[in-house]
Structure 1
């Protein structure tokens, strides 16, 4: 899978294509440098899934919960501020990761050892011309 987003006008189409490719996979880990567009792409994914709430980075909350158009929860994690794995244990990550509901994870490097075996790892990179490349790792 390689999806190129040349500008923000293409992000909804890219999100739709990505969701088709991902199918029934429930835990998606997004890798990329600061400013690569992880949160922006996750916002587009949520919009395509029918989320009507404001989607933003859960940097300080660590997790945001949204409702998709089907009424099911979508969990959005941002582990950027995690200092120790104990913090992740404290909020009961297993209840989310193994719930069968969609989990969208930013900064998964910090919790790599806790990710389920079937986690889909996705790279988001900015290219020289400013477009974004989304690719399964």
Structure 2
């Protein structure tokens, strides 16, 4: 599936539609720096009922959010990883196989650690228009 957003505001308005489509489990977010990965994740979390601020866990590697109905969502940012061993040291598998939503920025940093089944959200920008490609498991 493919969607377009002409602004970050459009991206935020698209989030409830995407939130309905994206199942629980591991969700990979791919896109260049500044493409809108964190903005999309923040808007999705809001659509799923997260009321606390959503920020990229660039230095902590993972943030945990709670929804109004008690669901736990994990948000990863692997941009600063030197190698996959750092993800292994943090116990990524406990999160990935927890049954909770795991929203992963920069999954290309851990290619051999990714589960076989995941949802992919690829965001590209051209002439100020964001194209969001959604691939479901």
Residues 44-75 of structure 1: CA deviation (Å, up to 9, x unaligned) = 00111111111011000000000012211100
Cα distance in 2 between the residues matched to 1:62 and 1:46: 17
Contact kept? 2:5, 2:11, Cα under 8 Å: yes
Cα distance in 1 between the residues matched to 2:10 and 2:4: 9
Contact kept? 1:79, 1:106, Cα under 8 Å: yes
**Is 2:17 the partner of 1:17?**
yes
Cα distance in 2 between the residues matched to 1:108 and 1:73: 20
Cα distance in 1 between the residues matched to 2:11 and 2:133: 14
| Runs (5+) with no aligned partner, structure 1 | none
| Runs (5+) with no aligned partner, structure 2 | none
- The number of residues matched between the two structures is 135
Q: TM-score, normalised by structure 2?
A: 0.93
Q: Give the alignment of 1:98-137 within 5 angstroms.
A: 98-128=97-127, 130-136=128-134
Tell me, what secondary structure is at the counterpart of 2:115? Answer: coil
Cα distance in 2 between the residues matched to 1:106 and 1:69: 24
Cα distance in 1 between the residues matched to 2:117 and 2:21: 15
Deviation beyond 3 Å, 4+ runs, structure 1? none
Please report how far the alpha carbon of residue 96 of structure 1 lies from its aligned counterpart in structure 2 after TM superposition.
0.3
Q: TM-score, normalised by structure 1?
A: 0.93
Tell me, what secondary structure is at the counterpart of 2:99? Answer: coil
Please report how far the alpha carbon of residue 26 of structure 1 lies from its aligned counterpart in structure 2 after TM superposition.
1.4
Tell me, what secondary structure is at the counterpart of 1:39? Answer: helix
- Indicate the larger mover: 98-107 or 5-14: 5-14
